[in-house]
Amino acid sequence: TQLLEQSPQFLSIQEGENLTVYCNSSSVFSSLQWYRQEPGEGPVLLVTVVTGGEVKKLKRLTFQFGDARKDSSLHITAAQPGDTGLYLCAGAWLGADGLTFGKGTHLIIQP
Amino acid sequence: EAQVTQNPRYLITVTGKKLTVTCSQNMNHEYMSWYRQDPGLGLRQIYYSMNVEVTDKGDVPEGYKVSRKEKRNFPLILESPSPNQTSLYFCASSPPGASVDTGELFFGEGSRLTVL
């Protein structure tokens, strides 16, 4: 099983601040997804990135896939309390069946 | 409403008492999967199914069984539960034609299981 590291594990910041969370692997991803999970619910897909260097934006969220396809980042601009949740990255590697999830970043945005 | 439905949502049981967690999706998805989520360990795949009558082990299949007799249902069976199977379980499905690598996973709301 390939390993997928997420950092930081926990992050608590004030409303209005910017933040970045990271997802890294020593192997090349064939694709990578970011999910958000709220308490008492299942994860919900935010974005899928496939091409090295790809950047996707979802309102205040910016997702970047590394040029070498070994890492990805999620940047949130002007964080709001509604952004609070567990952010999970999930990677697929060539030849593997399905996705491997990272342990997640617990994000708390304080009003 | 398109959804993945799991039952029960909460269950407390005792060691050795067989139990089944049901999962049903109404989206005609071919791919279905079971995960367990534990603090510090994240989401780990237990079993998955590419289609009816086709199932495969994930990363942590020990102590679990599954079946896929119909496209919409994918029950998770714990024949003899043990305390180390105390966890939050999620069923997920993915649309027809989607790659297992890039297809969106639709998750149920989770089933919290406690084995005493």
Q: Tens digits of per-residue pLDDT, B39-94?
A: 989 999 999 998 999 999 999 999 999 999 999 999 999 999 999 999 999 999 98
> pLDDT of A63-88, one tens digit each?
999 999 999 999 999 999 999 999 99
Give the whole-angstrom CA distance, residue A96 versus residue A23: 18
Q: Residue A1's pLDDT is what? A: 55
Task: Name the one residue in this structure whose structure tokens are 């997920």.
Answer: B92
Query: Is B109 within 8 Å of A1 when comparing Cβ atoms?
Result: no
Chain B residues touching residue A101 (CB < 8 angstroms) = 35, 42-44
Q: Which of A30, A45, A88 sits opposite B43 (nearest CB)?
A: A88
Chain A residues touching residue B33 (CB < 8 angstroms) = 98
Terminal Cα distance for chain A, rounded: 39
Chain B residues touching residue A97 (CB < 8 angstroms) = 48, 56, 100
Q: How many CB pairs under 8 A join A and B?
A: 62
Question: Residue B96 above 90 pLDDT?
Answer: no
- Which tokens sit at B99? 């790659």
Those residues with Cβ within 8 angstroms of residue B75's Cβ, 6 or more apart along the chain or in another chain:
B20, B21, B22, B23, B66, B67
- Looking at per-residue pLDDT, the higher value among A24 and B102 belongs to A24
List strands edge to edge, sheet with B4-7.
B4-7, B19-25, B76-78, B65-66
Could you tell me the pLDDT band of residue B101, with boundaries at 50, 70 and 90?
Answer: low
Query: Is A97 within 8 Å of B48 when comparing Cβ atoms?
Result: yes
Give the whole-angstrom CA distance, residue B71 versus residue B53: 9
Name the minimum distance, in Å, from the CA of A39 to any CA of chain B: 10
Give the whole-angstrom CA distance, residue A41 versus residue B97: 26
Query: Is B104 within 8 Å of A30 when comparing Cβ atoms?
Result: no
Whether residue A63 contacts residue A90, with contact meaning beta carbons closer than 8 Å, is answered with: no
* Amino acid letter for position A31: S
What helix, strand, coil percent values describe chain A, rounded to 5? 5, 55, 40
Average pLDDT of A14-19?
97
- Looking at per-residue pLDDT, the higher value among B102 and B45 belongs to B45
